[in-house]
A and B are shown apart, each in its own frame.
Chain A
């Protein structure tokens, strides 16, 4: 890849260290219904940030406000140091967007479509030419560069959408449901592409319903519901907080449970509680003590069949918050 890292272009005002998108009490309402309610987001640089929530939670509206396509009723936002409502052009130069139902000009070829966007971004014709060929190769459309977009399948159009968002070498890219309607292989390809973006200096904000995919690529998530932020943080933090009160749950399977085993394990520093159910021991600990516990068990000749740390999927977290809410 021939991208240059973009962390040194001139920013506007001061932003917190390493935070590239920040909102303060961002609010939007339509006809009396508050769609986004005093949202406070902080999105760190060069990471993949997931924005989750049920339909109508306000995800798309938040993205529109961050792009300057809609005006908030109150509150403010800063994207790459600029205010999108006051300086939308500066924001749009640095931000790429792939909307949910992306459309192309069907009678133009892929190259012509991207060429048009490059012209709107004031990219010189020569640079646009080489960049388009490179990008289309990266997203896997290298063979259909000169074909009309009307002949493209859905997966190809989604990939063209990614190329379209990246053509201006943005610092932040917003993806709204990028894998909607794709077959499993298409989904994998798109997710691999998205996962490779932080390495070249691009921050990704991913809006999706598909929790499995978000879990696969995102470093941290925020869950929105009815316009309010329900929870925010990196994935393992969220998991632990949702289910174990911030603690680590280690599960051990042994063929021979006995009270001495329980005592030995309790002796390991950092272990708070041990429960048994048949062959399974559930240990509540301060940190990831799997190595110490395994060492202790083996040293004392206790058979250890399986040891694992309880993994909480995004599904569980999501359901947990929405079941209660």
Chain B
């Protein structure tokens, strides 16, 4: 398995795909960083978490979608994950190299495990490099060093992004096992990504929530039901899970609940930032959900690959 992992890594590092993705991630992060720098003075962030503010502040005139974390969650991590896995198995099959490898004395699962591991390693490298670049540039720009808690939060953010990226990679590996054609597996994965990241959250979940719990007469209970249903439905989407998790992780001054809070309840809340432990408790379900989704995708592709027949014709 190590041999396969090494070969896959060598292939990735020398391929155009990797260079393009890396450059894209770096450039977009640099853009988001610059926008954040421009807007950070006007944003109301406690000094303890100023460094983290670099990652979550939108620019002045730019819509809030263009923060670093949002960009990552919605665009880059899924794209990186998908491009790492969409031709994992069917490229070998169509090139004829799969029969050749399978006639060597190796266990069949080493092939798919090796590819998955190599993908995770590449994800780790890209994400860490991007984070370090943004941190370094940010440090240079605002001159405020991160506190130890911020460093821990950033490290946890790195772990989260790797899990999230691994989910998309697992999904694309699943489709590459199911479909013979590389193009179809790519299109299917991209379709699912677009659906769950954009259309579902913006259009379909609200429509379902409105259908099941309509706000007929504007009463508070009806509104609360509607919003809670909307939240529950949105959490089906992995992008939403990830955004929720990272927004709590990187934005400690956030009020201590992810649900619907009425103004009356807000009055009673203590306006100090959440500690690390409390933040983690809040987002533990999201993390578990993401890990579970990744695990399921990988398990299904594993089982399918083990049962498939390897013919070159």
Q: For A164, what are the chain B residues with a Cβ–Cβ distance below 8 Å? A: 100
Distance of B107 from chain A, by nearest CB (Å): 7
Q: Is B191's CB within 8 Å of the partner chain A? A: no
Distance of A31 from chain B, by nearest CB (Å): 12
Which partner residue on chain A sits nearest B4 by CB separation? Answer: A120
Contact B99 A99 (CB under 8 A): yes
Q: Is A102's CB within 8 Å of the partner chain B? A: yes
Picked from B11, B100, B106, the residue with its CB within 8 Å of the CB of A99 is B100
Contact A64 B311 (CB under 8 A): yes
Contact B313 A100 (CB under 8 A): yes
Q: For A100, what are the chain B residues with a Cβ–Cβ distance below 8 Å? A: 312-313
Contact A97 B313 (CB under 8 A): no
Q: For A93, what are the chain B residues with a Cβ–Cβ distance below 8 Å? A: 105
Q: Which of B267-313 contact A (CB under 8 A)?
A: 309-313
Alpha-carbon distance A99/B313, docked complex (angstroms): 9
Distance of B80 from chain A, by nearest CB (Å): 21
Q: Is B217's CB within 8 Å of the partner chain A? A: no
Distance of B4 from chain A, by nearest CB (Å): 8
Stretch binding the partner chain, chosen from A14-22, A103-111, A220-228, A239-247: A103-111
Contact A117 B99 (CB under 8 A): no
Q: Is B14's CB within 8 Å of the partner chain A? A: yes
Category for how many chain B residues contact A: 20 to 34
Alpha-carbon distance A268/B177, docked complex (angstroms): 71
Q: Is B95's CB within 8 Å of the partner chain A? A: yes
Given contacts A92-B105, A117-B100, contact A99 B3 (CB under 8 A): no
Contact B99 A92 (CB under 8 A): no
Q: Is B257's CB within 8 Å of the partner chain A? A: no
Given contacts A64-B311, A99-B312, contact A120 B96 (CB under 8 A): no
Q: Is B104's CB within 8 Å of the partner chain A? A: yes
Q: Which of B69-103 contact A (CB under 8 A)?
A: 95-97, 99-103
Q: Which of A262-321 contact B (CB under 8 A)?
A: none
Alpha-carbon distance A119/B95, docked complex (angstroms): 20
Q: For B11, what are the chain A residues with a Cβ–Cβ distance below 8 Å? A: 105, 107
Contact A121 B97 (CB under 8 A): no
Q: For B310, what are the chain A residues with a Cβ–Cβ distance below 8 Å? A: 64, 69
Distance of A314 from chain B, by nearest CB (Å): 23
Q: Is B7's CB within 8 Å of the partner chain A? A: yes
Q: Is A6's CB within 8 Å of the partner chain B? A: no
Contact A103 B95 (CB under 8 A): yes
Contact B3 A107 (CB under 8 A): no
Alpha-carbon distance A120/B104, docked complex (angstroms): 7
Which partner residue on chain A sits nearest B11 by CB separation? Answer: A107
Q: Scan A68-105; emit 1 where CB is below 8 A from any B CB, else 0.
A: 01100000000000000000011011011101111111
Distance of A170 from chain B, by nearest CB (Å): 10
Alpha-carbon distance A214/B14, docked complex (angstroms): 43
Contact B14 A120 (CB under 8 A): no
Alpha-carbon distance A102/B103, docked complex (angstroms): 12
Distance of A55 from chain B, by nearest CB (Å): 10
Contact A89 B96 (CB under 8 A): no
Which partner residue on chain B sits nearest A164 by CB separation? Answer: B100
Which partner residue on chain A sits nearest B110 by CB separation? Answer: A120
Distance of A101 from chain B, by nearest CB (Å): 5
Contact A107 B14 (CB under 8 A): yes
Contact A69 B105 (CB under 8 A): no
Contact A70 B309 (CB under 8 A): yes
Alpha-carbon distance A7/B99, docked complex (angstroms): 27
Distance of B303 from chain A, by nearest CB (Å): 16
Q: Which of B33-87 contact A (CB under 8 A)?
A: none
Picked from B7, B14, B103, the residue with its CB within 8 Å of the CB of A116 is B7
* Nearest 9 A/B pairs, CB to CB: A103-B96, A103-B95, A97-B103, A119-B3, A92-B105, A120-B104, A99-B312, A99-B99, A103-B97
Q: Can you report 22 A-B residue pairs in the complex whose CB atoms are below 8 A from each other?
A: A64-B309, A69-B99, A70-B309, A92-B104, A97-B99, A97-B103, A99-B103, A100-B313, A102-B96, A103-B95, A103-B100, A104-B95, A105-B11, A105-B97, A117-B100, A117-B101, A117-B104, A119-B3, A120-B4, A120-B105, A120-B106, A164-B100
